[in-house]
Structure 1
Amino acid sequence: MGTLRHGTVGRRFTLLYAVVFLLSGMGLLALTYLLSGSQATRVAPGQPPPGRSGLAAAEQHIRDLEGQLSAVHAQQSRQLLVGSLIALVVMAAVSLLLGRALAGRVLRPLRLITAATRRISAENLHRRLAVTGPADEVKELADTIDGLLERLEASFAAQRRFVGNASHELRTPLATMRASLDVAVAKPEPAAPTVALAHRLRTELDRVDCLLDGFLVLARAQHSALADRTVVSLGELAGETLAARATDIAAKGLTVHHEVGPESFTRGSPALLSRLVENVIDNAIVHNDEGGWIRIAIRHDDTAAHLVVETGGRVLDQDEVDRLGQPFERLGADRTGSEESSGLGLSIVSAIAAAHGGSLALRARPEGGLRVTAALPPAADAERGRFEDVDQVEGTTP
């Protein structure tokens, strides 16, 4: 044991289990001795049978004594065997219980490390295990995890800086291109090909700008702490989005069924939650048939606040629908070639929902179309009451 390298935990395991089995062996021997000794058979001194004497009688008496002694030995052997089996069963059970208790005590630091590691996520990578104690395998493991967390924190921070800086830097040349196009089109009597080219380039620049904005929102939802959390009404956000998209809805001739139930509140970033609702409804508008329909329902229960948006259309493959929560995933050639979609809409929704402790469920409707359900943690009743009071005061302000 002394030759084990960094074997402090290994030595503790060895010593503990050695002591346990040593005590078990001692208990087994003691129990066997008690069980075998308590049933000792006493043999009365033999007496010569009446009516016989001499050498023949003595020999017969010796043979009788030998038979009695053999019977006693056989009985003691059986008692010893039965006692040993009973003792073995008892001590095996006791050893298992003791071994489990001791192993749990020894492995308790590892369980604490596991639980602490599970509580660390992308939002709190600054936290460390900081395990104290002897320089054994447990502390070495904890220090290794702390080092890994430090590298992950640096990597996430570098990724956030890169996405943010790259997006902002790319917007400068985009603005310059727009200005150049405006100057070219603003010239007296510009050529028709120039105007057509400028219009096409401006459309593409708008798509790039929208894509960069999506990157920024996705990066914030995935890697940033939500410092601006407050109570938000999903019903109000849905109503505002429908009002803002009224022109697009009318242009496609869509019928909107807006199910207004009990008010549903959640707590989070107003900007990100507004983007979540906008993206879900925009997805239903953009990827819909001419003259189609949209059903929007806001629901609330004790477990979550739900935003449910359904659309009609062709029957979809659930395997393909499951991939829509990933960036740049689309359904079919119509979505792949869509000039109005960046391919980030539902992935942003999924990231925002996850950042708020919620989830996004995408289901292909059996009769055709898609059902999108965003579930978010509900706001506490006290917070909802304060929100309603503030809203009423703002509504009565002249």
Structure 2
Amino acid sequence: MKLPGTVRTRFTVLYTSLFLASGALLLALAAAFASGSRIAEAVPGSVPEQTEAGPAQERIDDLERRLAQADEDQARQILKGSAWALAVMGVASIGLGRLVAGRVLRPLRTMTVTTRRISADNLHERLAVTGPADEVKDLADTVDDLLERLEGAFASQRRFVANASHELRTPLTTMRAALDVTAAKPGPVPERTRVLVGRLRTELDRVDHLLDGFLVLARTQHGAFGDAARVRLDLLLSEALAVRAEETAAKGLTVLRDRENGPADVWGSASLLGRVVENLVDNAVRHNDHGGRLRADVCAEGDAVRLVVESGGPVLDEEQVAGLGRPFSRLGTDRTGGEHGSGLGLSIVAAITAAHDGVMEMRPGSEGGLRVTVVLPRAPGASGASGAPGASA
């Protein structure tokens, strides 16, 4: 039979059932012994036979019948009292069983709360359960060993990405310098050489952009923000749109901004949050239709700040949009033909948003294209005046 509810409920039912079963068995044994003693007394020959009948004998028989009836009544009262006591203790055993089950499961609850608190950003924490060497401590030690291995794996991954990105910048710089020297040689440069230099420089810029994305991902996954401060997300959006005004005008895009309602302050890394806004605007401009629309809104709603960037373009389905947050995920050649696309833009946005305790949502636009919504916790306290670019004083 499958017991319902939580483990504590199942333990309570089990303890109560065992108590009631053992009490019922004890009561049945007591009733059996009492019945057996009465049968033994009623067996002929158990009392010496009287050969002569008389008033004395009749009085003795009457006394024996009264004693037997008293014994039977007493046994019945004992059994009835025992049954009532068993019922009362059965009810009490429910509370006692729940209390005992709670005490038994308390270490497991502590382990569960601690394990939930531990994430990729604080894998250095351990359960560190103390006590006797029992099954619970064995489980806690196993989880601690697993966390230690995970911490080592995450640290190795971050170091590899960061070190590889840094080391690859040296040969890229050398190759870019060689191209500059080749293009700057005195005398006429062959047209084929000039075209080749341009192509190589374009590819080097793409690789450099990709390495920069790797560095941002590694920094975001590390979870340490040395430049954490109050950041004006609305100012970051205005700056990102201003920087791309020329490209936006060249594509004939219509920029719509109609939901801003004053300062929208969040707490976090100004550089990383700026990267979020820049990537979203870049994505909306680069993968938009010529003459399309670009909607960019920032709105403070209660304890959250909502950033929405929506682009025009072809109608997308949910399956296409679902994979865009993964690194190097793209929607075909029509969305990856740009010279600077690396396939990391939206994955970087998702990683930075998660590192700031936010949520990123992607879904198809109402009239085609992509709609990306980033919701971040609002900075505590009132917003101050604008200080440095993107940050409030």
Using the alignment, how far apart are the partners of 1:155 and 1:117 within structure 2? 18
Contact 1:28 1:87 in 2 (8 A): no
CA offset at residue 315 of structure 1?
1.4
Q: 2 CA distance for matches of 1:82 and 1:314?
A: 82
Q: Deviations over 1:24-46 (max 9, x none)?
A: 7289849x99xxxxxxxxxxxxx
Partners in 2 of 1:291 and 1:86 — Cα distance?
A: 86
Determine which of 93, 96, 99 is the counterpart of 1:98: 96
Identify unmatched segments of 5+ residues in structure 1: 1-12, 34-61
Secondary structure in 2 matching 1:127: coil
What is the CA–CA distance in structure 2 between the aligned matches of 1:208 and 1:91, rounded to whole Å?
76
Query: In the alignment, residue 249 of structure 1 is paired with which amino acid?
Result: T
Q: 1:184 aligns with which of 182, 185, 195?
A: 182
Once the two structures are overlaid, the 10-residue window that deviates more, 276-285 or 314-323, is: 314-323
Please point out which of 23, 27, 39 is paired with 1:25.
23
Give the Cα–Cα distance (whole angstroms) in 2 for the partners of residues 306 and 192 of structure 1.
51
Aligned to 2:195: 196
Question: 1:103 Cα shift?
Answer: 1.1
Aligned to 2:128: 130
Judged with a 3 Å threshold, the aligned counterparts in structure 2 of structure 1 residues 162 and 127 are, in CA distance, closer, same or farther, namely same
Stretch of structure 1 that moved more, 241-250 or 209-218: 241-250
Instruction: State which of 376, 384, 388 in structure 1 corresponds to 2:385.
Output: 388
Q: Which has the higher contact order (CA 8 A, sep 6+)?
A: 2
2:214 and 2:317 map into 1 onto residues whose CA distance is 27
TM superposition outliers: structure 1 runs of 4+ over 4 Å: 16-20, 26-30, 79-93
Q: 1:150 aligns with which of 148, 159, 174?
A: 148
Q: TM-score, normalised by structure 2?
A: 0.77
Corresponding position of 1:361: 361
Task: Answer whether contact 1:28 1:88 (CA < 8 A) is retained.
Answer: no
How many residues are aligned here? Answer: 343
Distance 1:191 1:155 in 2: 51
Deviations 1:70-129 (A, max 9, x none): 9xx99x98x999988877665544433322221111110111011111111111112222
> Which residue of the partner structure matches residue 251 of structure 1?
250
Secondary structure at the aligned position of 1:189 is classed as: coil
Q: Which runs of 5+ in 2 are unaligned?
A: 1-10, 32-60
Tell me how far apart the structure 2 counterparts of residues 195 and 26 of structure 1 sit (CA, whole Å).
99
Q: Is the Cα contact below 8 Å between 1:288 and 1:313 reproduced in 2?
A: yes
1:158-307 pair list within 5 angstroms: 158-187=156-185, 188-259=187-258, 260-307=260-307
Question: How high is the sequence identity, in percent, across the aligned residues?
Answer: 58
1:166 is displaced (CA, Å) by: 0.4
Distance 1:157 1:323 in 2: 26
Equivalent residue number for residue 322 of structure 1? 322
What is the TM-score with the length of structure 1 in the denominator? 0.76
Contact 2:312 2:369 in 1 (8 A): yes
Shift of 1:371: 1.1
